[in-house]
Amino acid sequence: MYFPDNYDFFSPVKVNSGLKSMSHIPVELASMGAKKPLVLVDSELEDAGLVEKVVDAFRDSNVTIGVYTGIPEKLFKDDLNELYKAYINNQCDSIIAAGGPEIANTAKILNVAVTFGLDKLSEYAGENAIKEIMTPMIAIPTSGCTGEETSKYAHFEDMFFSSQLLMPSLVVLDPAMMAYSLPQTTVNAAMIVFTHAIEAYVRLANKNPLTDAYAYTAIQLIKENVITVLQKPRDKKARLAMANASAMAGCAYSNSVSGMIDRLGRAVADSCNLPIGICMGVVLPYALGYYAADPSKFDIKELLLAVSDADTYTGIPEEERAEKSVSIIRELVSDINFSSNGKLPLALKETGVMKGLMKGIAEQALSSGELDVDFEGCMTILDHAWEGKSLV
């Protein structure tokens, strides 16, 4: 186990997972000193007919709730103003976000507004500008969760927020909310979670025993359940496992820093008509192959234990473990491609991205801050990913 001389880890997130876990929300609110939450619901929840299940959790309690529906995926200023008015006019004292990653982001932005003032959002944008305890917030994620629900990140217009105080007080993972989702939605969410968990696990700059614990479990849960969810999309136990992986990955990644696979995936997504997670999934095995050549920054050989089992790990010579790790990831990506009918391409050229755009994609990935990989390294990964040619 990698054990650094110094590290810090912070996660205020309590997790309630399992059958009827939503029924405990009134008690949890009381423990936070709250009794009048504003419940934000996204269109996915409405379309799946699950709003009533959220409301039912409060029927036998003394909690008064306000339910706000019709919230767009992309939050604009007018939308935030209306949410703010609803919260203030109804004298709410807490926020519940029920749905996918977009509604979790909206809840965080609203939380900043109601805690510090609608006209002061810009003062709290940036890295760790939020230093005070915020309004209690609970997240109830659905099948397409990506870790946003437990992460320290949020964005609004051209403002980016990053603070561990943005993380919710509680995440409720209830099988009743694990509705069917389309294969592309499942693959997109799974690959965001998988990528973030792996980057938190292998990057030595922020690796420590606690991020390892969260990331290791997230990696195993995705690997063990993603194919089941694609082949049996109404398997709620497998979906619940994926939701647990998402929550854990969000906590681990919030104690790490944005990695190269995440940034390259986002830059690729800007150049094609595919979701961010799909693009991360395409880049992932090629980036890990590149990482394997630099053990001073990345511990790919130890990834083998997370993506396999103890017998496999001990049966492989130490000098071969990194290559085996990458091989297993590559096989999983191939299995996801097959089980999703090609929703996860195996090479960038299959996404429709022109090879001539690789330089711009690398530059964009590097423009958002320092990385463990330089421009030449990014180009090596992108060139191999475009061709579908392994680096190990």
pLDDT score, position 245: 98
In terms of phi and psi (left: phi > 0; alpha: psi -120 to 50; beta: otherwise), the region of 210 is alpha
Could you give phi then psi for residue 341, rounded to 5 degrees? 55, 45
pLDDT (tens, 9 = 90+) of the chain, 392 residues, equals 788 889 999 999 999 999 999 999 999 999 999 999 999 999 888 888 889 999 999 998 989 999 999 999 889 999 999 999 999 999 999 999 999 999 999 999 999 999 999 999 999 999 999 999 999 999 999 988 999 999 999 999 999 999 999 999 999 999 999 877 889 999 999 999 999 999 999 999 889 999 999 999 999 999 999 999 999 998 999 999 999 999 999 999 999 988 899 999 999 999 888 899 999 999 999 999 999 999 999 999 999 999 999 999 999 999 999 999 999 999 999 999 999 999 999 999 999 899 999 999 999 999 877 788 999 999 999 999 999 999 98
b/e per residue 280-306 (b: at least 16 CB within 10 A): bbbbbbbbbbbbbeeeeebbbbbbbbb
pLDDT score, position 121: 96
CATH architecture of 14-177: 3-Layer(aba) Sandwich (3.40)
Distance between CA 147 and CA 174 in Å, rounded?
16
pLDDT score, position 9: 94
Matching residue, tokens 């082949």 = 231
Q: What is the 3-state secondary structure (H, E, C) of the chain?
A: CCCCCCCCCCCCCEEEECCCHHHHHHHHHHHCCCCCEEEEECHHHHHCCCHHHHHHCCCCCCCCCEEECCCCCCCCHHHHHHHHHHHHHCCCCEEEEEECHHHHHHHHHHHHHHHHCHHHHHHHCEECCCCCCCCCEEEEECCCCCCCCCCCEEEECCEEEECHHHCCCEEEECHHHCCCCCHHHHHHHHHHHHHHHHHHHHECCCCCHHHHHHHHHHHHHHHHHHHHHHHCCCCHHHHHHHHHHHHHHHHHHCCCCCCHHHHHHHHHHCCCCCCHHHHHHHHHHHHHHHHCCCCCCECCCCHHHHHCCHHHHHHCCHHHHHHHHHHHHHHHHHHHHHHCCCCCCCCHHHHCCCHHHHHHHHHHHHHCCCCCCCHHHHHHHHHHHHHCCCCC
pLDDT score, position 162: 95
Measuring CA to CA, which residue among 25, 45, 47 is closest to residue 37?
25
pLDDT score, position 3: 87
Contacts 24+ apart (CB under 8 A), 299-304: 299/2, 299/201, 299/202, 299/204, 299/207, 300/202, 300/325, 300/326, 301/325, 302/2, 302/201, 302/202, 303/198, 303/201, 303/202, 303/219, 304/328
Name the class of domain 184-387.
Answer: mainly alpha
Boundaries of every domain in the chain: 14-177, 184-387
Domain pair 14-177 / 184-387, same fold: no
Cβ–Cβ < 8 Å for 216, 198? no
- Could you tell me the two tokens for 380? 């090596």
